[in-house]
Amino acid sequence: MTLSLTFKKKIIKYRSWILLIIFLAGASVFISNNGHEYLKYDNVLSEYTELKNLTQQNIHQAQLIFFLIYLFIVTFSLPFASLLTVLGSALFGWIALLIILFAASFGASLLFIAARTILSDWFYEKTSSQNSIIPPDFKGNTFILLLSLRLFPLAPFWIVNILPAFTKISLRNYFVATFFGIMPGTILYVWLGQTMDMLLSRGEWPNMMSIVDSRIWLPLTGLSLLIFITAIYRWLKT
């Protein structure tokens, strides 16, 4: 018991440093390999075509790598999920929807387990100011509440990943509510990624003229409506 508490305290103490070291190491590798050159518009089209050809050579391995990267990003609450969703959808098509849903749900579940066990004290302290979203003593149907918060993200994704850990919701219900709750928004992002692939495959860079194409503005409109409805609901709750 004492060993477990000591290990837990060490993880809590050094967690921020570990994340910082990982980030700095990644940034150093990116810069040392002239990674910024890949972000220039002139190189995006050629690099995208090369990346897509590379993934098609071993599609299953590429999908597994994408799954693991997405799982890592969600587990550590890194702010790249939306961008990665669009990129993965462009590269893999609609199969990316299932990959993303499972990776996001498993990643959120890992965070949920950590918040309920080894990092419970640290996470509870960090999210105490947000307890009104999902109170620990919530008496209603936590599954429905979590499903609603996934459908209409009234709080940051990582906050909603953690708060249910302090309620009585089971891991199974948490996973199911997350999987189906994020599905509508993910479908819109995958749709957008598919449209981006269509443009990039034709050698075109998305611009204002592209928005006239219904395959661009329909998913964008869907995402905008989701954000708008969430904002209205949040305003009515205040």
- Asked whether residue 25 is assigned to any structural domain, the reply reads no
| Cα–Cα distance, 196 to 229 (Å, whole number) | 25
- Asked whether residue 192 is assigned to any structural domain, the reply reads yes
- Asked whether residue 29 is assigned to any structural domain, the reply reads no
Q: Which two tokens stand for residue 201?
A: 């495959």
- Asked whether residue 35 is assigned to any structural domain, the reply reads no
Report residue 109's pLDDT band, with 50, 70 and 90 as the boundaries.
Answer: very high
**Residue 121: closest CA among 165, 161, 157:** 165
What number is the average pLDDT over the span 167-173? Answer: 91
pLDDT given for residue 237 in this prediction = 55
- Asked whether residue 26 is assigned to any structural domain, the reply reads no
pLDDT given for residue 177 in this prediction = 92
With left for phi above 0 and alpha for psi between -120 and 50, is residue 203 left, alpha or beta?
A: left
| Cα–Cα distance, 179 to 169 (Å, whole number) | 15
| Cα–Cα distance, 9 to 141 (Å, whole number) | 33
pLDDT given for residue 2 in this prediction = 47
Block residue for tokens 């860079």? 205
- Asked whether residue 217 is assigned to any structural domain, the reply reads yes
Q: Show the domain range for 200.
A: 2-19+41-237
List, for residues 120-142, the tens digit of each pLDDT value: 888 888 888 777 778 777 767 78
With left for phi above 0 and alpha for psi between -120 and 50, is residue 113 left, alpha or beta?
A: alpha
List, for residues 31-83, the tens digit of each pLDDT value: 666 655 544 545 556 677 888 888 889 999 999 999 999 999 999 888 888 88
pLDDT given for residue 184 in this prediction = 84
Entry pTM: 0.71
Number of domains in the chain: 1
